[in-house]
Amino acid sequence: MNQVLSVISSRRSHRAYKQDQLTQEQIDILLKAGMDSPSAVNRQPWHFTVVQNQELLDELNRAVWEETMKQNPEGRSGRFNDPDFHVFYHAPTVIFISADRDNYWYHMDSGIACQNICLAAESIGLGTVILGMPRAAFQNEKAEEFRKALLFPETHDFTIAIAVGIPDDNKPAHLHAKDRISYVR
């Protein structure tokens, strides 16, 4: 297997991290991978905010909990049954991607950049988990405060976040769902 296929295949969502902080060199590699991503009409509608301030992550975690608890329990992730659940899994670094909401492809482009970052991290011995749940913090009354604290450009909305660090778990590969491929020949 070549190196690209091997990295794609070994990536996992890690939900426990050692507290060792990333080096600036590692962060630069991840951000370059994000910015190397293709985007529709090469608009590069993304903005990356690297967060290592655990107090801010705790505040976001609280807002996510607050918003999520307003939802019907049936629609809520089972992870919220654990009172110790932390949306960011205490990762030492979280990269927030916000993107220009007026760009038709902003979610797609963010997703591609997100996966490039995850694969780059895997290739240098770091683990990641993609995080959609923090979106709830931007539906909270503190949304504007968070947008400012995270330095989102005025035209940008949260699209996705990525927790990054040295993994401290042993996540198995997910099973491939059946019937997801058709051929028309």
Ligand X SMILES: Cc1cc2nc3c(=O)[nH]c(=O)nc-3n(C[C@H](O)[C@H](O)[C@H](O)COP(=O)(O)O)c2cc1C
Contacting residues toward ligand X, per CB under 6 A: 12-13, 15, 129-133, 171, 174
Q: Quick one: 180 or 185, whose CB is closer to ligand X?
A: 180
**Rounded Cα gap, residues 144 and 169, in angstroms:** 34
Q: Quick one: 27 or 112, whose CB is closer to ligand X?
A: 112
Nearest distance from C-beta of residue 6 to ligand X, angstroms? 15
Residue type, position 178, single letter:
K
Q: Quick one: 40 or 130, whose CB is closer to ligand X?
A: 130
Nearest distance from C-beta of residue 167 to ligand X, angstroms? 11
Q: Quick one: 132 or 153, whose CB is closer to ligand X?
A: 132
For 149-154, which contacts have Cβ atoms below 8 Å and span 24 or more sequence positions? 149/56, 150/49, 150/51, 150/56, 150/96, 150/98, 151/47, 151/49, 152/47, 152/49, 152/96, 152/98, 153/47, 153/98, 153/100
